[in-house]
With several copies, the nearest count.
Chain A
């Protein structure tokens, strides 16, 4: 069993928070991630900011801007992960160009052309070194993922794919063949972002992949205890929460709050959401049927 699946191993629903590393700076980021784990996170998605975050909504997009302005680079990101002292699996969430370009020694805008051909292997190798357990790459559909999949296999990392409400049956088969760690079930159409409600589409999506042997994490728009409970009771093995947490960081930046205060809030929010997930597990048809 891979590293990521560990997050789902205790029969409890997993709580998987997301933060952009370096938002608003490396030091604060570190405390925030630790607070989330203290609050009950079973796994953390650590965002490596890319300049063109096409799958993100405004909340995470702003986080990416803050982080990039703070000077985050892939190497700084890896060092951050290396330094991190938490005992849960870690997922690197980023866009493919950063994976593809890492370690290619030229052929950038500086103009010398490609001497070391770009490709995902150096990035995966380095990620494995620092303790990353898997990847979510939102702009890399399964069809384009062969090289990355191979590198992950080589270094024993998981590659999570997203399943959207629009994903066709044909494509589900393609994804199923390639996915590992968990499958990221997109709760609704659109981009990341906290929402007032969680879509009915979630249950349908979960039903379509019920027989897959990887855990199902549901994300996109989960922001409250109720959402968490409902999603888990609909059959999710875990919940993925990003924007609702990033909102707390954004608010802190705007209102100039201390890192410790923010960490407290994140820890509390994590507890709430984890609690919601647990409630959902108790209320699930499966649990009630027991």
Chain B
């Protein structure tokens, strides 16, 4: 349950037995494949989830950067992102544990929609907590959850965003621990969630490793993934962590600035690995964006899925211990990368994944400042985890591109009022 100093179980006493029960179930079903749990999970990932996803050679990016770039196509997973890997794993585990109900929180709605899909697939009653503010700005995702049969519980507390939804879901779980499982959406929360979610997501690096060997006969020189909570990051890194020759780069959201406005309690970024301090948030000790007193500040990113004040404890540990390098790119660079992949490769990436792509441009692009160490770290064969597709981000892209000078954006003036 610990990763060095990180991790642990900082939760109300009432939840401790549920967490222990979960840990046991995790060890038996996931680690030991009891009752064929992992076989069933993998088969469902394949048939329902559409795995394996391709490791695609990106021809135009490769030309642009003079390296061989591969995209791990998690955008092709059912639902449009890697999120289903975990949601499906946990809902299935809840079923094996005899739970009769699942709850989950969601911010932008990606984890909520993935959970609703998994719950419908496995016939498990499902309630999703979502802040009222988020509900108002993520209506398509709210609608998707509803038509998948999930019950949606609006959270009115505070600013009505992800943080409040997490707290509210914990409360529901604390009240209904007996029959309810809480499907945590990333490699965060109390043990065993960070480890368990990483295991469910590690299918990404497991496939990428096999595919690398098959497609080019060796491991990649580096793997690049965006990091918010860190589930796609840990999924993309997990099976490479022990390969010292593979450099792992976690790209955080630099937002508009790495500075913090303590007075307003706002960090205009979500770069907790790069700028956060140790703290305890949502059940785990990890790196956290906080003010001088330890109050959690509002994070920010143009990408809702990266917009979180904490990060998975294992990722914080791996950064401290060196197997993973934390870097970050800002909102503008991410938007530019979004347009670049859309135009040059015919793939509309999630704004989350656009951060990973933007890092390539920053280090290897024509306007890069020649950071040769960073360029060398990337090596010749680079795998970028394309964690999700960008259809969900179209409104945001319109709004945010409109505010800025994004040199490679098409003329979008006719859309400036939204879709």
Which of these binds chain A: B16-24, B73-81, B118-126, B127-135?
A: B16-24
Partner of B294, one of A57, A97, A110: A97
Which of these binds chain B: A34-42, A60-68, A251-259, A279-287?
A: A60-68
Assess A98 versus B293: contact at CB under 8 Å? Given A58-B157, A139-B280: yes
Number of interface residues of A (CB under 8 A): 54
- A50 on the interface (CB 8 Å rule)? yes
- B residues 60-86 in Cβ contact with A at 8 Å: none
Interface code A93-109, partner B: CB below 8 Å = 1, 0 otherwise? 00111101110101111
Nearest chain A residue, comparing its CB with the CB of B274 = A111
- B410 on the interface (CB 8 Å rule)? no
Partner of A109, one of B12, B157, B282, B290: B290
- B residues 244-303 in Cβ contact with A at 8 Å: 258-260, 262, 265, 267, 274-283, 285, 288-297
Number of interface residues of B (CB under 8 A): 50
Instruction: Write out the residue numbers on chain B whose beta carbons fall within 8 Å of the beta carbon of A51.
Output: 163, 265, 295-296
Nearest chain A residue, comparing its CB with the CB of B18 = A166
Pair B13/A141 contact, Cβ less than 8 Å:
yes
A111 to B176, CA, bound (A): 39
- A2 on the interface (CB 8 Å rule)? no
A113 to B260, CA, bound (A): 13
Assess A74 versus B282: contact at CB under 8 Å? Given A65-B157, A144-B9: no
A68 to B295, CA, bound (A): 10
Pair A111/B8 contact, Cβ less than 8 Å:
no
Nearest chain A residue, comparing its CB with the CB of B291 = A108
Pair B279/A163 contact, Cβ less than 8 Å:
no
Assess A139 versus B283: contact at CB under 8 Å? Given A65-B157, A113-B277, A189-B14: yes
Instruction: Write out the residue numbers on chain B whose beta carbons fall within 8 Å of the beta carbon of A53.
Output: 167
Pair A114/B277 contact, Cβ less than 8 Å:
yes
- A9 on the interface (CB 8 Å rule)? no
A277 smallest CB distance to B (angstroms): 23
**Chief secondary structure at chain A's binding surface:** loop
A104 to B288, CA, bound (A): 13
Partner of A168, one of B20, B278, B285: B20
Instruction: Write out the residue numbers on chain A whose beta carbons fall within 8 Å of the beta carbon of B258.
Output: 111
Instruction: Write out the residue numbers on chain A whose beta carbons fall within 8 Å of the beta carbon of B174.
Output: 55, 189-191
A65 to B16, CA, bound (A): 27
Pair A73/B293 contact, Cβ less than 8 Å:
yes
- A143 on the interface (CB 8 Å rule)? yes
Pair A118/B295 contact, Cβ less than 8 Å:
no
A64 smallest CB distance to B (angstroms): 9
Pair B176/A189 contact, Cβ less than 8 Å:
yes
Instruction: Write out the residue numbers on chain B whose beta carbons fall within 8 Å of the beta carbon of A65.
Output: 157-158
Interface code A49-92, partner B: CB below 8 Å = 1, 0 otherwise? 01111111110011001001000011100000000000000000
- B41 on the interface (CB 8 Å rule)? no
Pair A54/B166 contact, Cβ less than 8 Å:
yes
- B33 on the interface (CB 8 Å rule)? no
Pair A138/B12 contact, Cβ less than 8 Å:
yes
Pair A118/B277 contact, Cβ less than 8 Å:
yes
The residue among B8, B18, B290 with the most chain A CB atoms within 10 A of its own CB is: B290
Pair A168/B12 contact, Cβ less than 8 Å:
no
Pair B278/A107 contact, Cβ less than 8 Å:
yes
A190 to B157, CA, bound (A): 17
- A182 on the interface (CB 8 Å rule)? no
B256 smallest CB distance to A (angstroms): 14
Partner of B275, one of A62, A96, A111: A111
A50 to B14, CA, bound (A): 20
Pair B279/A97 contact, Cβ less than 8 Å:
yes
- B residues 287-326 in Cβ contact with A at 8 Å: 288-297
B158 smallest CB distance to A (angstroms): 6
- B170 on the interface (CB 8 Å rule)? yes
A161 to B176, CA, bound (A): 21
Assess A111 versus B259: contact at CB under 8 Å? Given A54-B282, A189-B174, A191-B175: yes
Question: Could you list 21 A-B pairs, sorted by A, with CB under 8 Å?
Answer: A52-B167, A52-B296, A61-B167, A73-B293, A97-B279, A97-B280, A100-B279, A100-B280, A106-B277, A109-B267, A109-B289, A110-B259, A114-B277, A118-B277, A118-B278, A141-B11, A143-B8, A162-B14, A164-B16, A166-B18, A167-B14
Residues of B within 8 A of A (CB): 8-18, 20, 157-158, 163, 166-167, 170-171, 174-177, 258-260, 262, 265, 267, 274-283, 285, 288-297
> 20 other contacts beyond A97-B288, A100-B294, with CB at 8 A cut-off?
A54-B166, A58-B157, A65-B157, A74-B294, A97-B279, A100-B280, A107-B277, A108-B277, A109-B260, A118-B277, A139-B283, A141-B10, A141-B12, A164-B12, A164-B13, A164-B14, A165-B14, A167-B14, A168-B17, A189-B175
